[in-house]
Amino acid sequence: MKNSLVRKEYSPLVSDGNRRDTLKIAIQKSGRLYEDSVKLLKDCGIDLKNGLNRLKTEAENFPMEIYFLRDDDIPQYVEDAVAHIGIVGENIVFEKNKQVDIVEKLGFSKCRLSVAVGRNEKYEETSFLNNKRIATTYPLLVKQFLEKNKVQAEIHEISGSVEIAPGIGLSDAIVDLVSSGSTLFMNGLKEVETILESQAILIKNRELDKTRQQLLEKFLFRIRAVKKAKNNKYILLNAPNEKLKEIISLLPGMKSPTVLPLAEPGWSSVHSVLNENDFWDIIEKLKEAGAQGILVVPIEKMIV
Ligand code: ATP
Ligand code: MG
């Protein structure tokens, strides 16, 4: 039902049989960004056609073509307008330093680019790195970091498995992506500096035509609704009428909470929206104030 409505709005072919203008998006072909990128499209109501082609596909119900690429290549493709927009980590965008615009932080694939040294080293400040060898796949970001801290060190650019470099005597320190730190730990390393906090972002070509810009705005409107929904929960609870005032004062809601009478006299049902960050705090206070039968449900989309 939902799909048929959307399809009516977009017919992929114009009368002369040519494809309508589509927004081309580049996402990672496989790896840590892939699943969340596809999920974001799905959450935005964009369904991908299943085909055997692992290089590109198209959306069934939105004028979009999806290109599957290595994440390192995405900024270049977007700069060249081979893809109009792309989803990639900030770490790659800043390292590749291409002429693209950042449109939106997407809130997934969070990690940091950090300096790590042997667990037993006495690292106190960046001057420790003077005259040391640093292995990394991020030569530009490391160079900028060293310059900013006035450190002279040798950068060894390698293409992967950076964490083993100190163990095999290739370097004294590394700069690599870290999330939990378990890879560093397993390789006898410790994290000593953070160069960059990173997450997945949406980037765009700098010279989009009007049609593409409009499609991007449509897509962005959906992304923001999805992001907002993720950070909020819908809450329903029962409250004795004499406690309503106190309970309502604890609930922000989108405008103000909805209050409906229950079949049982003297009781009301209160509905509202809560931000994930304040959630536990507020729930405790609601209970203390006399709320009962509290239900918390996820929100799929949120448009304010
Ligand atoms: P490709 O084959 O596309 O070049 P890759 O091996 O370079 O893939 P992945 O390991 O899949 O890249 O990581 C892709 C991106 O995911 C990174 O550039 C970074 O933004 C993010 N990322 C990396 N490590 C983590 C992590 N441990 N936790 C969360 N996100 C991460
Ligand atoms: Mg890569």
pLDDT digits (tens, 9 = 90+) for 126-148: 999 999 999 999 999 999 999 99
* Order of all β-strands in the sheet with 267-275: 258-261, 267-275, 232-240, 292-298
Lowest mean pLDDT among 96-105, 204-213, 244-253: 244-253
Percent of the chain topping pLDDT 90: 86
Cβ(196)–Cβ(90) below 8 Å: yes
Neighbours of 283 (CB within 10 A): 18
What pTM value is reported for the model?
0.87
Measured CA to CA, the distance from residue 100 to residue 103 in angstroms comes to 9
What local confidence, expressed as pLDDT, does residue 52 receive? Answer: 65
At a CB cut-off of 8 Å and minimum separation 6, what does 269 contact? 236, 237, 238, 239, 259, 260, 261, 262
Of the pLDDT bands very low, low, confident and very high (cuts 50, 70, 90), residue 179 is very high
What's the CA angle centered on 39, arms 35 and 42, to 5 degrees? Answer: 145
Q: Which residues pair with 297 in a beta bridge?
A: 234
Tell me the CA–centroid distance for residue 291 and ligand 2, in Å.
Answer: 50
The length of the chain is: 304
Determine contact, residues 87/200, Cβ cutoff 8 Å: yes
Question: Ligand 1, closest atom to CA 72?
Answer: 4
Q: Helices 34-43 and 210-230 meet at what angle, rounded to 10?
A: 100
CA of 58 to the centre of ligand 1 (A): 24
Question: Pairing between strand 85-89 and 189-198?
Answer: unpaired
33 Cβ inside 6 Å of ligand 1 = yes
**Is the distance from the beta carbon of residue 198 to the nearest atom of ligand 1 less than 6 Å?**
yes
Of 197, 25, 200, 205, give the one whose Cα is nearest residue 101. 205
- Ligand 1 in reach of 28 Cβ (< 6 A): yes
Identity of the amino acid at 269: S
Over the Cα atoms of the chain, what is R_g? 25
